[in-house]
A and B are shown apart, each in its own frame.
Chain A
Amino acid sequence: MAHIWPIGGGKGGTGKSFLTGNLGILLAKNGYRTLLVDIDFGTANLHTVLGIPHPETSISDFINKKVGTLEETVVTTAIPNLYFISSALNSLDITNIVHEQKMRLLRSITKLPYEYILLDLGAGTSFNTIDFFMISNSGILVTTAEPTSIENIYRLIRSVYIRRIRQELKVHNFRVLAEEAKTRDSRATEQNPEILLYIIKEIDPERGRVVEQSLRGFEFKLVLNQLRKQDDPNIGALICKIIERHLGLKIHFIGNISFDDHVHSSICKKMPFLHIYPYTQTASDIRRCYENMVSLKETQLCIHGVAE
């Protein structure tokens, strides 16, 4: 089964598409059959990062049932082993994808015959984005060293956390337990899922343990992109520390990627960064992050409500 790496992070412009494209290139170069999927339906631009300005097919062809299988929307790239599903030609109303379509899409993605499937997610922590981020237990988060971006990482992580609690408890139990929890401790809200779970565990230890067990299955990864010279290089590791310590979630710090104006030039030239600036610090940072990611033992693919 494929390793699926959803790449998200809450804030826009942190470098999710940039990282997806360049990780994809490295995976393909190392001989892995790799597929990149642009899940940023409304504001797609992974095709540009990859240097494919006009892909012929698009994910919307599958969603609108113009084609029968998701496989038919895959396009090849100039790089051997690297395949791509674009969102470039999506119709403008595609962002209102309905639940049923989304589930069909999620299911289809997990069945595609590739070794690695990378999903480039949009900004924000909308319901849809979280669903795709939770397609596997080992989502990748991209942040910069700015407080606004870090703030959104926490927001995304807490959204995932509360979603997992809901999934495990199922609708009815969740509602009952959440209400009871709130009467016991006013801080036990969905905005503070860790406190909510703590109180739920007091009310119903059995179910609380099940949820906790499930949360332990996550193994997130964090990349700190656009690190500038004046930034503290330890920020990424400290973010992971806060998340592990206070949410009890596993998250690996993958590495820093230096800020470099050449990234901008590569995007303006519509050429993959690693191809035209392979000898920059930023390029070697990306390669190191790549090494760290593939060497981490993958956790079992786990999709709630997706597998039949």
Chain B
Amino acid sequence: MNPFRKQNHYELLEISPGASPMEIRRAYKNAFELYKDESIVSYSFFTPEERKEIIAGLEDAYLTLINPESRAEYDRTLIASGAVEEEAPYYHKTRDPISIYDLRKTHADMIGPRRRTEDLKHVVSHNKLIQEIMSQDSLTGADLCKIRKELGISLEKIAEETNIRISMLRAIEGDDFDSFPPMVYLKGFLKSYARYLQVDEHVIIDGYIKRVGKQHS
């Protein structure tokens, strides 16, 4: 599979050099699904060695690109070799003027529901800190708290809108494992929490549960 082996990390994952960490994560996950041993679509196409080689290449690409430092360095080598334009990499994009709404000033809680959803989505997808947190492998309560504060939403407001007790929300953000309800309820709470903030509920639930699972099960 020589031509394939010669592809750069972005080409391997089928993403653009401007991809966000979340896109990188998703692309890796999709590619892994396709090339893993159990995939009935690809098992008969490749020999076991070819498959191993492809998976190793994907892992290398993912690990390099998901870490901001190694990614910056990798981008530099790509730019130097002329493979990508200097303007293309991610860190250039994030410097563009982003939001027309500064939610902390306009106060998200006071905007009508429809506007609120769209504005929040916009901020979530353009806020660098939130994007970084969302691309982490696991999430702490403090991470959730940071996202929430970045969006300018109070805990009281979430409690009111989602009907989750405020003490429970505090326990979640404070990683107070002893006060947690059974897992199914916890997942439900996280889902409502994520939905109210207009962030990807799967990322929040998976990221948070991953840590909790180890200590609370």
- Interface residues of chain A, those whose CB is within 8 Å of chain B, are 145-147, 150-151, 154, 194-195, 198, 235, 238-239, 241-242, 245-246, 248
A151 to B41, CA, bound (A): 8
Q: CA separation between A195 and B34, bound complex, in Å?
A: 21
Is B43 interfacial (CB-CB < 8 Å)? yes
The CB with the most chain B CB atoms within 10 A, among A146, A147, A242, is that of: A242
Q: Across the interface, do A238 and B34 meet the contact criterion of CB distance under 8 Å?
A: yes
B44 touches A195 (CB 8 A): no
Please name all residues of chain A whose beta carbon is closer than 8 Å to the beta carbon of B45 when the two chains form the complex.
154, 242, 246
B42 to chain A, nearest CB (A): 6
**Across the two chains, which residue of chain A brings its CB closest to B44?**
A151
- Flag whether B1 is at the interface (Cβ < 8 A): yes
A239 touches B1 (CB 8 A): no
Q: Does B185 contact A (CB under 8 A)?
A: no
Closest to B33 in A: A238
Decide: A235 and B40 in contact? CB cutoff 8 A. yes
Closest to A157 in B: B45
Other A-B contacts than A154-B45, A198-B3, 16 sampled, CB-CB below 8 A, are A146-B40, A147-B40, A147-B43, A150-B44, A151-B44, A154-B44, A194-B1, A235-B40, A238-B42, A239-B41, A241-B34, A242-B34, A242-B42, A242-B45, A246-B4, A248-B3
**Also in contact, A147 and B1, with CB within 8 A (given A238-B34, A241-B34):** no
Interface residues of B in 86-104 (CB under 8 A from A): none
- List chain B residues, Cβ under 8 A from A246: 1, 4, 45
| Residue contacts A-B, CB under 8 angstroms, 19 given | A146-B40, A147-B43, A147-B44, A150-B41, A151-B44, A154-B44, A154-B45, A194-B1, A198-B2, A198-B3, A235-B40, A235-B41, A238-B34, A238-B41, A242-B34, A242-B41, A242-B42, A246-B1, A248-B3
B residues near A242, Cβ cutoff 8 Å? 34, 41-42, 45
Contacts of B41 in A (CB 8 A): 150, 235, 238-239, 242
Contacts of A245 in B (CB 8 A): 4
Q: How many A-B residue pairs have CB under 8 A?
A: 32
Cβ of B34 and Cβ of A150 under 8 Å apart? no
A245 to B46, CA, bound (A): 13
Q: Which B29-44 residues have C-beta < 8 A from chain A?
A: 34, 40-44
Minimal Cβ-Cβ distance residue in B for A248? B3
Residues of A within 8 A of B40 (CB): 145-147, 150, 235
List residues of B (63-116) whose CB comes within 8 Å of A's CBs. Answer: none
Q: A139 vs B42: C-alpha distance in the bound complex, in angstroms?
A: 21
A154 to B50, CA, bound (A): 16
Nearest to A201 among chain B residues (CB) is B3
Q: What B residues does A147 contact at CB under 8 A? A: 40, 43-44
In the complex formed, the residue of B with least CB distance to A188 is B2
For window 15-70 of B, CB contacts with A under 8 Å fall at 34, 40-45
Nearest B residue to A155, CB-CB: B44
Chain A residues lying within 8 Å of B4, measured Cβ to Cβ, are 245-246
Chain B: which residue is nearest A153 at the CB level?
B44
CB distance from A181 to the nearest CB of B (A): 12
Residues from chain B with a CB closer than 8 A to the CB of A241 are: 34
Q: Which residue of B lies closest to A247 (CB)?
A: B45
Question: For residue A194, which residues in chain B have a CB less than 8 angstroms away from its CB?
Answer: 1
Query: In the docked arrangement, what's the CA distance between A242 and B42, Å?
Result: 7
Could you say which residues of chain B place their CB within 8 Å of the CB of A150? Answer: 40-41, 44
**Distance between Cα atoms of A242 and B45 in the complex (Å):** 8
> In the assembled complex, which residues on chain A have CB atoms less than 8 Å from the CB atom of B43?
147
CA gap between A150 and B43 in the complex, in Å: 10
B42 neighbours in A (Cβ, 8 Å): 238, 242
- Contact among A151, A195, A235 with B1 in the assembled complex (CB-CB below 8 Å): A195
User: How far apart are the CA atoms of A194 and B50 in the complex, in Å?
Assistant: 13
- Return the chain A residue nearest B54 by Cβ: A246
Once the chains are docked, how many angstroms separate the CA of A209 from the CA of B128? 45
Q: Which residues of B sit under 8 angstroms from A154, Cβ to Cβ?
A: 44-45
**From residue B93, how far is it (CB to closest CB) to chain A in Å?**
26
Query: What is the chain A residue whose CB lies nearest that of B1?
Result: A246
Q: Closest CB-CB distance, A202 to chain B, in whole Å?
A: 9
By beta carbon, the residue of chain B nearest A240 is: B41
Docked Cα-Cα span, A6 to B107, in Å, equals 63
CB neighbours of A235 from chain B (8 A): 40-41
Bound Cα distance from A154 to B47, whole angstroms: 13
